[in-house]
Amino acid sequence: MYQIRDVPVRHVAGFHLVGPWDVMVKQGFDQLMLWVRTQQLDPEEWVAAYYDNPDVVPPEKLRCSTFIRVNADFVVPPASEGVICTALAGGTYAVASVQVENNDFETPWRGFFTQLLQDNHYQMDAKPCYEVYQSDGSQTGTWMIDMYIPVKSKSAPAER
């Protein structure tokens, strides 16, 4: 089950990666945790963003980012090689809160996309999808996450 929500812009800092998501997201969060500890930051949110369709793009070309949420005026500190500061677009999103079991993030995402494809009022929009972590399942394999898929009304006129 999901809800349609108007979501504000999320200002984020972290790492952009290319490669198979099952490898790169973990590597990105390892890098991010080291950077957060080194810089003595206290993040409010941990976020993973996904930019491609894994059914179309080969695994070695899949793009993702691992981020922490930061204030709009955040400046990347010295000794932060590879860290980018950017924003995830605000707007209308389908949002689902799920429990991930056995580190299997793909199953809930595929289920969410399947549900959304059957929606009579909304369709996916061409912006990145992302997940916000509500719990740390790195030791147990069980995670609570909120998944965000950008959507637009099916009745909205086409943009020119």
Q: What is the pLDDT of residues 10-64, one digit of tens each?
A: 999 999 999 999 999 999 999 999 999 999 999 999 999 999 999 999 999 999 9
Whether 7 has a pLDDT exceeding 70, the answer reads: yes
pLDDT of 88 above 60: yes
For range 129-142, the mean pLDDT: 95
Q: Which residues contact residue 76 at a Cβ distance below 8 angstroms, ignoring those fewer than 6 apart?
A: 13, 83, 84, 85
Residue 151 pLDDT exceeds 90: yes
Residue 79 has pLDDT above 70, yes or no: yes
Question: What distance lies between CA 73 and its chain's CA centroid?
Answer: 21
pLDDT at position 83 over 60:
yes
* pLDDT of 103 higher than 90: yes
Half-sphere exposure of 157 toward its Cβ, with a 13 Å CA cutoff? 2
Contact 10, 65 (CB under 8 A): no
Band of pLDDT at residue 155, cut at 50, 70 and 90:
confident
Sheet strands (E) in the chain: 3-7, 10-18, 46-50, 63-69, 84-88, 91-100, 122-124, 129-133, 143-153
Its pTM stands at 0.94
Q: What percent of the chain has pLDDT over 70?
A: 97
Q: How far apart are CA 56 and CA 88, in angstroms?
A: 23
CATH fold for domain 3-153: Multidrug-efflux Transporter 1 Regulator Bmrr; Chain A (3.20.80)
Q: Across the chain, what does the average pLDDT equal?
A: 95
Output the DSSP codes for 29-72: HHHHHHHHHHHT---S-EEEEE-S-TTTS-GGG-EEEEEEE--T
pLDDT at 157 over 70: no
